[in-house]
């Protein structure tokens, strides 16, 4: 325990890096699993080969994302022990069963049926293959459920009692259905849906820009735009409800998100500022008068909590670091707004021109926004997770009390190792998606073998694109 | 003391058994697919795809047993979890990097441009090697009581090599069953060499464990325990002799006995594991913390146990389903 502070900070950075890398891939697989099921069901219903082509294209990206999610998820499960032994020692009685249920009800289901979904189409009856696709999607969503339950419980813990500093479960119903769980779950599922919708729209737009005339690319562009346009208003609504829930249970987090220092009525909605934690004020503030009060309390005179309420008498801050929460929240909201504008514009253009004749400018915009879901998800994740600090489990376990006593040098060297690998893998991952898209655009992607029911669409796929 | 009257006794015991089961499942199942990964550089280029295809549908579920094992350690014995994983911080890191590299290589090597395939093959091998070596190292450190002294580390390095060779043996045995023709002959050749690692590894652990701990020595080398335990070494010896004899005769006409080496290797792993479990019981951290001291609250364990009783048969069921769907000789994997 030579440098406890450094170990703490480095462990936080390491965990942050690992979970940031990890969350990218479930964010894709959660919704993409259901999208694949949709493509498969469309194919089953219409026998149009474009749906099978879409399935074949996106199942590759699903498989790749899934593998990335699995391997980085295993890392997470070990990190509890290597870096945060205090977490399991204190709240293991609650966290343990939730994680165990995730492994048992979700992991095995996904892993086993993924093998059948990816490689079993020629070995099982078609309905079994469709069922395997469903079970993988279902398993992925189950997995999300358990993880969100645990994460939400860490934000809004209930249904337990403390004995000698250790958490004992008293009411599993209350633990699972803790106050922030429904909001968080809906917010995450919608985030995944949006991420996938923009990824599909963006990659399809790229294919069209590269001269791909395949029916499947047009259909998936249309699919992505419609889903995105449908989900984004729901997400804004869900985000608002989630914010109100956070206000009730974690007011310090909301104060940091709003960049509000003093509790009071008529609090402005700060659009931009540089929060200064030492001076305890905002620099260069641009705000909408009464905005925060109206959003959070639905009236201008609504009293909104301020950060200065969360400072102990000895000066210890009981609120998170303001700037990261403040800025990541704004990045999330701004990305969401861009999603709203682009998807609704896209919807309009879709009605006007159709997917095949879409002008190039919006296609470029969709291509550029391919990974906007990642940006918004990460920003949202930082908002909520940094916003929980200094607590690991709100009011129960402080982050600093959970950290392991391994040396700072050890944490630093492994951190560098992880970062190098993650950077290389992200690079390779995006590279492969682009490669697959380019290959498809050049017409080199083989038409789905074994599904030759509709001859003419087949020809369309085979045409060289450029 | 009645073992099953007090939940504070039988619950930790049950969870130790469940954890043992999932570690064993992991070692056998991921053992053979890690082994196949280790053998990839030895295979001809045109055979590499087939090697990977033979484990493609299974590796992910195989690896999940590790997550279950670590999950059970974490839920059932939280204090032990922290102690063990903090002590093994570095090898755990190496293993995780290995598992990451190898897991993503499955997908990347099949989807990246053809020119990059050799690179992902290397990543696949290196990842398998890192994972196997670090697991062997951790096993050695665990046997030595999780203390970092020079002789202990030296021993752990030895077990790292042995486990790696042992994994490549069971990988080769898997390939004997899943391939045919020239490749199968080569796999027999790999198995012939790999078996010595397996034998030396089991021997080293068997001799070192009682040497390190007087308690374990007592458990094995006193009457009448020695008598009861004698089937373990005797059966192991029989399996080894069978393997040595069988591998010489393979491949046979009509592919007879092709599964023999794999089955015998599984039996050897089970026997070795049984011996270890007997040695270390009731400790979860060797000579420091027993499973009864480290166990979580009975009410939490009960919650998991109830679910396990329903879920575990389902898991076993669809695992068997998957192996039966992909039974027979490995063929090129296609997404259709």
Task: Tell me whether the omega of the peptide bond preceding residue B282 falls within 30 degrees of 0, making it cis.
Answer: yes
Q: Does the beta-carbon distance from A448 to B81 stay under 8 Å?
A: no
Query: With left for phi above 0 and alpha for psi between -120 and 50, is residue A298 left, alpha or beta?
Result: left
B-chain residues near A436 (CB < 8 A): 111
Which of A240-249, A409-418, B10-19, B296-305 is predicted with the least confidence, judged by mean pLDDT?
B296-305
Chain B window 244-303: which residues touch A at a Cβ cutoff of 8 Å? Answer: 296-297, 299-300, 303
B-chain residues near A172 (CB < 8 A): 303
Which of A67-76, A445-454, B104-113 is predicted with the least confidence, judged by mean pLDDT?
A445-454
Question: How many Å apart are CA A108 and CA B67, to the nearest integer?
Answer: 10
By the CB < 8 Å criterion, does A115 face chain B? yes
By the CB < 8 Å criterion, does A116 face chain B? yes
By Cβ distance, the residue of A77, A89, A114 closest to B60 is A114
Q: Does the beta-carbon distance from B100 to A448 stay under 8 Å?
A: no
Minimum distance, in Å, between the CA of residue B122 and any CA atom of chain A: 15
Flag whether pLDDT at B316 surpasses 90: no
Q: Searching chain B, which residue's CA lies closest to the CA of residue A109?
A: B315
A-chain residues near B307 (CB < 8 A): 97, 100-101, 104-105
**Helix, strand and coil percent figures for chain A, each rounded to 5:** 70, 5, 20
Minimum distance, in Å, between the CA of residue B286 and any CA atom of chain A: 17
pLDDT value, residue B36: 92
Question: How many Å apart are CA A294 and CA A332, to the nearest integer?
Answer: 20
**Whole-Å CA distances, B318 to A44, A135, B311:** 24, 11, 11
Is residue B12, in this structure, part of any structural domain at all? no
Where does the pLDDT of residue A454 fall: very low under 50, low under 70, confident under 90, or very high at 90 and above? Answer: very low
**Count of Cβ atoms closer than 10 Å to residue A455 Cβ:** 8
What does pLDDT average to over chain A? 86
Q: Does the beta-carbon distance from B300 to A60 stay under 8 Å?
A: no
Chain A window 28-57: which residues touch B at a Cβ cutoff of 8 Å? Answer: 56
Question: How many Å apart are CA B69 and CA B74, to the nearest integer?
Answer: 8
Q: Does the beta-carbon distance from A88 to B76 stay under 8 Å?
A: no
Q: Name the residue among A137, A119, A140, A113 with its Cα closest to residue A56.
A: A119
Q: Does the beta-carbon distance from A450 to B336 stay under 8 Å?
A: yes
Tokens of B223: 């009457």
Q: Does the beta-carbon distance from B326 to A123 stay under 8 Å?
A: yes
Query: With left for phi above 0 and alpha for psi between -120 and 50, is residue A290 left, alpha or beta?
Result: left
pLDDT value, residue A175: 92
* HSE-CB of B93 using CA atoms within 13 angstroms: 20
Burial class (CB in 10 A: 0-12, 13-18, 19+), B150: exposed
Is residue B238, in this structure, part of any structural domain at all? yes
Is residue B266, in this structure, part of any structural domain at all? yes
By the CB < 8 Å criterion, does B148 face chain A? no
A-chain residues near B63 (CB < 8 A): 70, 74, 111
Dump pLDDT digits (tens) for A307-316: 888 888 887 8
Which of A412-421, B153-162, B324-333 is predicted with the least confidence, judged by mean pLDDT?
B324-333
Flag whether pLDDT at A450 surpasses 60: no
Minimum distance, in Å, between the CA of residue A262 and any CA atom of chain B: 41
Dump pLDDT digits (tens) for A26-74: 999 999 999 999 999 999 899 888 898 899 899 999 999 998 998 888 8
Question: How many Å apart are CA A87 and CA A172, to the nearest integer?
Answer: 19
Mutate to test the interface with A, among B81, B88, B148 (most CBs of A within 10 A): B81
Question: How many Å apart are CA A129 and CA A117, to the nearest integer?
Answer: 6
Is residue B5, in this structure, part of any structural domain at all? no
By the CB < 8 Å criterion, does A244 face chain B? no
Question: How many Å apart are CA A188 and CA A146, to the nearest integer?
Answer: 12
Q: What angle do CA B142, B143, B145 make, to 5 degrees?
A: 65
Flag whether pLDDT at A18 surpasses 60: yes
Flag whether pLDDT at A459 surpasses 70: no
By the CB < 8 Å criterion, does B126 face chain A? no
Is residue B8, in this structure, part of any structural domain at all? no
Question: How many Å apart are CA B132 and CA B156, to the nearest integer?
Answer: 12
A-chain residues near B12 (CB < 8 A): none
pLDDT value, residue A429: 92
**What is the domain range of residue B318?**
22-325
Question: How many Å apart are CA A276 and CA B198, to the nearest integer?
Answer: 63
B-chain residues near A451 (CB < 8 A): 336
Is residue B7, in this structure, part of any structural domain at all? no
B-chain residues near A101 (CB < 8 A): 304, 307
Question: How many Å apart are CA A169 and CA A149, to the nearest integer?
Answer: 14
Q: How many domains would you assign to chain B?
A: 1
Is residue B330, in this structure, part of any structural domain at all? no
Flag whether pLDDT at A169 surpasses 80: yes
Dump pLDDT digits (tens) for A91-127: 888 888 888 888 888 888 888 888 888 888 788 888 8
Rounded (10°) CA dihedral A141, A145, A150, A151: 70
Contacts of B260 (CB under 8 A, 6+ apart): B242, B246, B250
Mutate to test the interface with B, among A58, A94, A99, A103 (most CBs of B within 10 A): A103
Is residue B336, in this structure, part of any structural domain at all? no
């Amino acid at each position: 325990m030579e440098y406890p502070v450094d170990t703490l900070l480095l462990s936080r950075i390491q965990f942050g890096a690992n979970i940031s890398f990890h969350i990218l891939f479930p964010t894709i697989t959660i919704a993409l699993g259901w999208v694949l099921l949709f493509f498969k069901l469309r194919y089953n219903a219409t026998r149009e080969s474009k749906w099978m082509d879409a399935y074949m294209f996106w199942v590759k990206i699903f498989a790749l994302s899934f593998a990335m999610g699995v391997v980085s998820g295993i890392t997470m499960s070990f990190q509890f022990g290597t870096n945060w032994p205090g977490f399991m020692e204190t709240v293991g009685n609650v966290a343990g069963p939730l994680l165990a249920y995730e492994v048992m009800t979700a992991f095995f289901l996904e892993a086993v049926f993924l093998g059948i979904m990816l490689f079993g189409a020629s070995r099982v009856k078609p309905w079994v293959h469709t069922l395997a696709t469903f079970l993988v999607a279902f398993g992925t969503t189950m997995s999300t459920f358990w993880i969100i339950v645990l994460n939400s419980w860490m934000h809004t813990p209930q249904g337990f009692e403390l004995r000698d500093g250790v958490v004992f479960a008293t009411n599993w119903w209350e633990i699972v259905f803790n106050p922030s769980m429904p909001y968080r779950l809906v917010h995450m599922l919608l985030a995944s849906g949006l991420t996938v919708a923009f990824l599909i729209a963006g990659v399809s737009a790229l294919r069209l820009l590269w001269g791909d005339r395949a029916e499947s690319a047009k259909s998936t562009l249309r699919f992505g735009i419609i889903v995105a346009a449908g989900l984004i208003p729901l997400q804004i609504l869900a985000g608002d409800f989630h914010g109100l829930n956070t206000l009730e249970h974690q007011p310090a987090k909301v104060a940091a998100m709003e960049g509000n220092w003093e509790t009071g009525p008529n609090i402005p909605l700060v659009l931009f500022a540089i929060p200064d934690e030492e001076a305890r004020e905002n620099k260069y503030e641009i705000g909408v008068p009464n905005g925060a009060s109206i959003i959070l309390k639905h009236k201008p005179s609504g009293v909104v909590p301020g950060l200065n309420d969360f400072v102990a008498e000895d000066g210890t801050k009981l609120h998170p670091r303001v700037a990261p929460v403040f800025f990541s929240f704004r990045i999330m909201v701004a990305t969401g707004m861009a999603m709203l504008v682009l998807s609704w514009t896209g919807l309009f253009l879709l009605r006007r021109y159709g997917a095949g004749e879409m002008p190039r400018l919006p296609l470029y915009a969709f291509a550029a926004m391919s990974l906007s879901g990642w940006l918004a998800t990460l920003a949202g994740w930082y908002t909520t997770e940094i916003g929980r600090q200094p607590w690991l489990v709100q009011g129960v376990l402080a982050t600093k009390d959970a950290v392991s006593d391994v040396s700072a040098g050890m944490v630093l060297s492994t951190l560098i190792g992880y970062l190098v690998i993650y950077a290389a893998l992200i690079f390779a991952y995006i590279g492969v998606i682009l490669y697959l898209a380019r290959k498809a655009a050049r017409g080199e992607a083989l038409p789905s073998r074994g599904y030759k029911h509709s001859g003419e669409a087949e020809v369309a796929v085979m045409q060289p694109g450029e | 003391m009645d073992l099953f009257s007090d939940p504070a006794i039988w619950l930790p015991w049950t969870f130790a058994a469940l954890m043992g089961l999932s570690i064993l499942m992991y070692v056998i199942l991921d053992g053979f697919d890690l082994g196949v990964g280790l053998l990839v550089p030895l295979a001809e280029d045109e055979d590499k795809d087939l090697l990977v295809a033979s484990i493609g549908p299974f590796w992910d579920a195989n690896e999940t047993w590790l997550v279950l094992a670590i999950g059970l350690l974490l839920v059932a014995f939280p204090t032990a979890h922290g102690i063990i994983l903090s002590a093994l911080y570095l090898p755990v890191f190496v293993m995780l990097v290995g598992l990451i590299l190898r897991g993503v290589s499955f997908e990347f090597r099949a989807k990246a441009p053809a020119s990059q395939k050799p690179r992902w093959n290397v990543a696949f091998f290196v990842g398998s090697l890192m994972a196997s070596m670090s697991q062997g190292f951790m096993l050695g450190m665990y046997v030595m009581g999780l203390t970092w002294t020079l002789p202990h580390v030296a021993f752990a390095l030895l077990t790292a090599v042995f486990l790696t060779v042992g994994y490549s043996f069971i990988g080769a045995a898997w390939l004997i069953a899943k391939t045919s023709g020239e490749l199968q002959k080569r796999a027999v050749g790999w198995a012939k060499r790999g078996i010595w690692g397996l034998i030396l590894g089991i021997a080293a652990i068997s001799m070192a464990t009682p040497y390190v701990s007087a308690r374990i020595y007592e458990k094995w080398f006193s009457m009448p325990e020695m008598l009861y335990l004698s089937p373990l070494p005797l059966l192991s010896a029989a399996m080894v002799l069978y393997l040595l004899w069988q591998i010489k005769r393979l491949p046979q006409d009509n592919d007879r006995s092709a599964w023999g080496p794999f089955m015998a290797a599984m039996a050897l792993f089970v026997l070795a594991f049984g011996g270890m479990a007997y040695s270390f019981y009731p400790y979860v951290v060797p000579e420091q913390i027993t499973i009864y001291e480290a166990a979580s609250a009975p009410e939490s364990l009960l919650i998991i146990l109830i679910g396990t009783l329903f879920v575990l048969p389902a898991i076993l069921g669809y695992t068997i389903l998957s192996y039966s769907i992909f039974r027979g000789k490995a063929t090129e994997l296609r997404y259709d």
